[in-house]
């Protein structure tokens, strides 16, 4: 039985189910995901938060890890929080800006 490879699209779909509790937009569209790397059955995600004092600083990375680990074939998920470059509203997708009324 051949193992199916994990796709970037599957990871992005999983990330789009995680929402910042203070903003009604998913973290992918908010621009909080900086990098996604897939190596065999491991997924590495580099992300940031809206601010270093974000109340979800503990729970959001755990939720990301949980959702991505549910993808069939994923054995390990590593989530790294980075602060450079700092997040700004210009990192949001057009969809997120529309949702939040920034147009």
- What tens digit of pLDDT does each residue of 40-77 get? 999 999 999 988 888 888 899 999 999 999 999 999 99
In which region does residue 63 sit, left (phi positive, over 0), alpha (psi from -120 to 50) or beta (all else)? alpha
Q: Evaluate whether residue 46 is within a structural domain.
A: yes
Q: Evaluate whether residue 65 is within a structural domain.
A: yes
Domain assignment of residue 30, given as a range = 8-85
Total domain count, the chain: 1
Q: Evaluate whether residue 91 is within a structural domain.
A: no
- Domain of 54, CATH number, reads 3.30.300.130
pLDDT digits (tens, 9 = 90+) for 90-100: 999 999 999 88
| Cβ atoms 31, 93 nearer than 8 A | yes
Q: Evaluate whether residue 99 is within a structural domain.
A: no
- In the block, which residue shows the tokens 């974000």? 54
Q: Evaluate whether residue 68 is within a structural domain.
A: yes
pLDDT at 21: 83
Q: Evaluate whether residue 59 is within a structural domain.
A: yes
Q: Evaluate whether residue 79 is within a structural domain.
A: yes
How large a percentage of the chain has pLDDT more than 90?
Answer: 75
């Amino acid at each position: 039985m051949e193992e199916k490879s994990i796709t970037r699209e599957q990871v992005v779909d999983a990330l789009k189910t995680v929402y910042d509790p203070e903003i009604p937009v998913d973290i992918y569209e908010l621009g909080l995901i900086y990098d996604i790397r897939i190596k065999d059955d491991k997924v590495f995600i580099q992300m940031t938060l809206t601010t270093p004092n974000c109340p979800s600083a503990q729970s959001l990375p755990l939720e990301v890890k949980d959702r991505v680990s549910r993808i069939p074939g994923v054995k390990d998920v590593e989530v790294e929080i980075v602060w450079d470059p700092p997040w700004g509203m210009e990192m949001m997708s057009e969809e997120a800006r529309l949702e939040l009324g920034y147009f």
